[in-house]
Structure 1
């Protein structure tokens, strides 16, 4: 596929990443135990004890790097952006190692070794990636591994493909030109690419220009012309790729499946499936356990205060709608009177809401009432990050009024989300909230989840709309 990294480049990236990681781990051990940087007071553990961990580290690093997009074409990004991604990926790996160290003290590893490894690994992989990028760019300038492509159709689709090919030079696509039946475009340059002739001349152009791949980017109205074109190039030794004119219908990530040889295009496919779903679930389990362990003293204190300051249960159970429209019970610390909705029914909280208890006002303004939802995450009803779940009566109202509202249910609901940390929580614009939720789904990655969690801890728990 076009977006895939060339197998030789991919092998080089994985190999150098593994080599740099192994070297960093070994150097971190020797820097801690074989130098006098910081005196060793508890004895020197055998190197074998540390080296046995290298294979699990390599597997985890490769998975994290894959999920972070470090093995895909960098899509025109700068070296600085790639270094930031490396920093984030290695940091996520280190958090997982530290979590392992925390829960399994019998296999405890030196924190200084982990710190040294973290810094050395980021530096080493950053340098090796920079050298690899320079080597690939040099090879491209010399004409190695270039694919000469011809685009049938100089409309919006064809022009967009040309712009992508010119921008993402690491793909190695050399656009030799367009073919198009519009007489006004003949002999002209479009976005720096010549129109070489009409579709009837395509065989001659393929042979003269040494075209290796033909991209058909004709509109849906030109169905008959596409069939004629396919029949015409049947005589040529050229790869044919078809770009469907479906951009206006795509709302989530697009994907292609196959049903016994029949290609099927997904226009509304969630990216969090398969291995991505497994990785996100593992991320949720690890971090929810960590947050439960860290927050347990606060949760015990709040539970005692709720019981002492107002009659009624400590926890409040509320039905919410989550993944694929399934409902579940979401838990919160009770922040309102027991009979808060006995007369009004399901309504949103409002500023200075008289239904709140005195402690409840504080908990809601600081989002501390949401802490029990880590148990929802652990149970699998929710994720740490995702669109906030809504109550079914509100969902029924919004789905009729807000376009694409139900797409937010293509992923698990979250304790926090991209919309919430950008201020769209509580009684705010539903349209803006959906816009941010869909952006999150379309651009999901582990790094994006980690960014949202860190931003939540930094600025998202206290909000003027949290009441």
Structure 2
């Protein structure tokens, strides 16, 4: 979806803001619903940067042969300034939207202005160094033609790649519609028929007690939640009929969908009063109010994954002697496997197997964590007690990080049967499931603030979840690095570990 915001009155054009969503003009051409893909845009921009630097180096190497003179300082400087000018000049990001990024004419429009400005900078730099204008123009054309040729070849390859059916399917956004009245059905129909390859309709959902016609829906909200765990959604659009208390109605549905990893939008004719407080985005011709966003954008997820895999690989290499020593000690002092594998609830409420060094006697292990580990727990071996005290038992989770099941930093994952105050965690605290909207971590903001160890009371759970949600709101690469440093300082020898 577009990331441009503005007052709601402008896209609707009516002061009372009661324009039906279907008043938008019909669009019949394919791929008429463009959206901004932050990861794709970042990749293309990075490739452009590499291509322009490579072409500038090539130009610097062949330009002396053209003019039969060795301007050993001027030419590299001019080529460098041209490349920097190309990279720094503001570009029209709309031209990198999907699917316009696949259109050759649009990409020519995107590349031409920065290339011309780069060529102009080339002339300016050489002229300032008092070189003949004719030669400056000639060398500028060399840089321009060479850079244009390299970028065009790169773009042709990118367009061909993005046009392949497999990539097009990956780039398509999956949308679910909540509602069952005429507005919802017509909205869903237009998405299915007009959005081309940019959006896919995942279905229309509504609870049977509120649905005007349950027979035309694809399921209830519970079905939508289950669907989202197997097939990730990019957007959920609430196209429900206005109610006597629309704010309460929207808040109730939003709360029911709190565990779903998706952006949530609402059509403008559903709510009144709070609409001017919400930002808007456009989905094709439709203005939609932004109700809820995923905690991390696609590009932020990529940056976090790169940090995790890079630091995780370095940590595995550096700590491998320690991990080998721990494995030998476990094997030598008690029968059973070196590793303990346990199902945990992870990203988007999906189950995965976590790796830890085994610290308990094999016949006393509790894979479903029906009984949490307590201080002086008789199930823990003597070696296991030291491994837990020094947090060495957690090191195999670096393997989960390398498998992109976990992150270095994030909310700690729990086993399905873990309890607090005698209740399962998601039953004990409704906000608990929100933690699953990011990958679980080896360490986290809660752990470095002392909220680790056994969950005994509901207050223990509330404090831990509050710190986890604070982490999700404050996330940045710098914050992750800070938590990693604090983990080494505060937690490796923590008195809370047992």
TM-score band (shorter)? 0.3 to 0.5
* TM-score, length basis structure 2: 0.43
